[in-house]
Chains A and B, each alone.
Chain A
Amino acid sequence: MRQALSPDDVKRIARLARIETSDAEAQATQAQLNTIFDLIATMQAVDTRGIAPMAHAQEVYQRLRDDAVTETDRHAAFQAIAPAVENGLYLVPKVIE
């Protein structure tokens, strides 16, 4: 049987996913995630030895395109919708002291 997730586990995963989570939220989320993982656990009983994993519905290969410029400069249009920009740069809090 699978080990149930604790609120600390939830906080650790939320940290990996960069989602701020309070203790109260972790508590509530833990119960729901455990119900979902109980459902997911039903697949553990299946013997899949020798089965190749299927990542994709179609056998596709990565196409290569010509090494040519195809896009126009849309810098201004893309920056117009950003939360904070200055001199053509995206502004974020300082990361280097």
Chain B
Amino acid sequence: MPDTTLSALAAQLAGKQISSRELAQQYLDRIAALNSSINAFITVDAEKTLAEAAAADALIAAGNAGPLTGVPIAHKDIFCTDGWLTTCGSKMLHNFVAPYDAHVIQRFKAAGMPSLGKTNMDEFAMGSSNETSHFGPVKNPWNPAYVPGGSSGGAAACVAARMAPAATGTDTGGSIRQPAALCGITGLKPTYGLVSRYGMIAFASSLDQAGPMAPSAEDCALLLNVMTGFDPKDSTSLEREKEDYARNLDQPLTGLRVGLPREFFAEGLNNEVAAAVETAVAELKKLGATTVEISLTNSKLAIPVYYVLAPAEASSNLSRFDGVRYGYRAPDYASLDDMYCKTRAQGFGAEVKRRILIGAYVLSHGYYDAYYLQAQKIRRLIADDFNEAFKVCDVILGPTAPGTAFKLGEKSDDPVEMYLNDLYTIPANLAGLPGMSLPCGLDSKGLPIGLQLVGNYFSEAKMLNVAHQYQRATDWHARAPEGLK
């Protein structure tokens, strides 16, 4: 499978050099060849994919094609997809065929983009290694002994392995950016509220946000154009003018002020990651940017705050899984209450249960003020730090994760060690700011290194401009794992 950008694929489709069916079949063949070793997909349905591709071909033939019509895409298994198994990586939903489409799915269908299938993920998006999935861990295409990151691990791995030209992901504490970094692709978490959460199985509703994952920033801009937009069915969806996120891609970076938070380059950061990020900063300076040191003083509290707020919201959101209306129900029980307790004990995995328990505890009588309210107050301090920083810089830059991919099983027995992976990504979720990760190097083991950009609210076009200019000057985003070619 040659490396091809979404715009190049769209041009080939528009020029009738290839049909959407042929293109989809090429990716399906590659999925068939690689998925048994990578485990990036939970569900593949070639018949459905090819039917959608045929419909896209009809749109193209009739002259009704949009910018990406006929380009296939893989969807994270967190998005309800009408008629498709939608598991959220959990035994609880192992048999759940969604009866409707998430807004994000509706958007991609309306754009004429066939679905290549549903990608593997940490159970209910809770995890940073994809090892909590009921359907087994995803392997990192750069080295199958290593994790792909999570929770959108299947999405990142399928794009890295060129099993799909693009994928959707969701990001509550880093679940788009961290796997993008560990798999060497580009991923963007938009400003909270830009992409509808309707039909996206809820984890922590005040933090969850869907976004695009693809090889390049230009690809992400085109996908963001499809995904964003007001949806009356999501009460937190923002009513804004539709914008073209690709409009600024070609602007020079002259005069760009890049903020470097000293807390993101402190103890705990792997040396090779630090060196690669510093080289990227030097590259941006060559392109006309200047740097300014900034401080995000309270960002060190992001992990404790997150592990109060996200579980609190999760314990409430996941109360809907009771074995009554859909999904798993325990086979034996003595009463209604017993049915709930057994269904939830058997249907949820260990990490999901841990987080539900944390959430139930911090919201319980006598602990609410000390935990939940205190966390919400510090959340504001963290957001205020960003507001101050954006007075002196246009974009904030740092590493996406403290290290590169780690080995399967290496951190799965130590929740706190696993949580520390999201040290640099969580602050943007708490503030509701857009963040993205792009590849900026390989470490001595040949594993990808991710660079993170955090922008001010609604500055996605600016961030994509910075990333695109960096990607014009470098070729990290164009590298793919050698062994799979």
Known: A40-B304, A43-B304, A54-B376. A93 touches B336 (CB 8 A): yes
Q: Which of B326, B338, B361, B375 has the most CB of A within 10 A?
A: B361
In the bound complex, CA of A21 to CA of B381 (Å): 37
Interface flags, A43-75, vs B, CB<8A=1, else 0: 110101001111111101011010000000010
The listed residue (A20, A55, A63) touching B345 by CB distance below 8 A is A20
Chain A residues with Cβ under 8 A from B360's Cβ? 13, 16-17
What 0/1 readout, one digit per residue, does chain B (336-376) give for beta carbons within 8 Å of chain A?
A: 11111110110010000110111111001000001101111
How far, in whole Å, are A55 and B307 apart by their CA atoms in the complex? 15
Question: In the complex, what residue of chain B is closest to A80 when comparing beta carbons?
Answer: B99
The distance from the CB of A50 to the nearest CB of chain B, in whole angstroms, is 9
Query: Are A58 and B340 CB-contacts (below 8 A) given A43-B301, A93-B335?
Result: no
Given contact pairs A17-B360, A82-B324, A93-B336, A39 touches B416 in the complex (Cβ within 8 A): yes
Q: Is A87 an interface residue (CB 8 A)?
A: no
Q: Is the CB of B325 within 8 A of A82?
A: yes
- Measured CB to CB, the closest approach of chain A to B203, in angstroms, equals 15
Closest A residue to B238 by CB, please name it: A58
CA distance A43 to B57 in the complex (A): 56
B154 within 8 A of A: no
Interface size of A in residues (CB-CB distance below 8 Å): 49
Interface centre among A32, A42, A54 (most CB of B within 10 A): A54
In the complex, what residues of B have CB within 8 A of residue A46's CB? 298, 301, 374, 377-378, 381
Q: How distant is the Cα of A33 from the Cα of B356 in the complex, in angstroms?
A: 11
The smallest beta-carbon distance between A31 and chain B, in angstroms, is 10
A44 to chain B, nearest CB (A): 7
Which interface class (under 10, 10 to 19, 20 to 34, 35 or more) fits B? 35 or more
**Counting CB contacts under 8 A, is B308 at the interface?**
yes
Q: Is the interface of B mostly helix, strand, loop or mixed?
A: helix
B419 at the interface (CB under 8 A from A): yes
What's the minimum C-beta distance from A71 to chain B, rounded to whole angstroms?
10
Cross-chain contact A42 with B380 (CB below 8 angstroms):
no
Residues from chain A with a CB closer than 8 A to the CB of B100 are 74
Closest to A50 in B: B377
Chain B, residues 121-154, CB within 8 Å of chain A (1/0): the string is: 0000000000000000000000000000000000
- Contact residue among B333, B357, B377 (Cβ-Cβ distance under 8 Å from A54): B377
Is A19's CB under 8 angstroms from B380's CB? no
Indicate if the CB atoms of B364 and A16 lie closer than 8 Å.
Answer: yes
Query: What residues on A are CB-neighbors of B356 within 8 Å?
Result: 17, 19
Whether B357 pairs with A43 at a CB distance below 8 angstroms is: no
Complex interface: chain A residues within 8 A of B70 (CB): none
CB contact between B377 and one of A17, A52, A60, A95 (< 8 Å): that residue: A52
Q: Is the CB of A60 within 8 A of B324?
A: no
- CB of B276 closer than 8 Å to a CB of A: no
Q: Are B232 and A83 in contact (CB under 8 A)?
A: no
- With A16-B364, A20-B344, A43-B378 known to touch, is A33 a contact of B357 (CB < 8 Å)? yes
> Quick check: B357 and A19 within 8 Å, CB to CB?
yes
Whether B374 and A57, one on each chain, are in contact in the complex, defined by CB atoms closer than 8 angstroms, is: no
Pair A18/B236 contact, Cβ less than 8 Å = no
Pairwise interchain contact B380-A53, C-beta atoms closer than 8 A? yes
Chain B residue nearest to A56 (CB atoms) is B206
The reply to whether B357 and A29 form a contact with Cβ atoms under 8 Å apart is: yes
Find out whether the CB atom of B381 lies under 8 angstroms from the CB atom of A10. Answer: no
Q: B357 contacts A77, CB within 8 Å?
A: no
Determine whether the beta carbon of B431 is less than 8 Å from that of A32. no
Contact A58 B301 (CB under 8 A): no
Residues of A within 8 A of B27 (CB): none
Contact A54 B324 (CB under 8 A): no
Which partner residue on chain B sits nearest A78 by CB separation? B99
CA distance A90 to B329 in the complex (A): 13
Q: Are A18 and B344 in contact (CB under 8 A)?
A: yes
Contact with B along A27-40 (1 / 0, CB 8 A): 00100110111011
Q: Are A39 and B99 in contact (CB under 8 A)?
A: no
How many angstroms between the C-alpha atoms of A37 and B304 in the bound complex? Answer: 8
How far, in whole Å, are A29 and B314 apart by their CA atoms in the complex? Answer: 18
Residues B323 and A83 in contact, CB atoms below 8 Å apart: yes
What residue of chain A has the Cβ atom nearest to residue B432's Cβ?
A57
Contact B193 A57 (CB under 8 A): yes
Q: Is B238 a contact of A39 with CB atoms below 8 Å? A: no
By the criterion CB–CB under 8 Å, are B357 and A57 in contact?
A: no
What are 22 A-to-B residue pairs whose CB atoms are below 8 Å? A10-B357, A19-B344, A19-B345, A29-B357, A33-B361, A35-B415, A39-B307, A48-B378, A54-B379, A55-B376, A57-B206, A57-B432, A62-B235, A65-B232, A74-B100, A78-B99, A80-B99, A81-B326, A83-B323, A83-B327, A93-B336, A95-B335
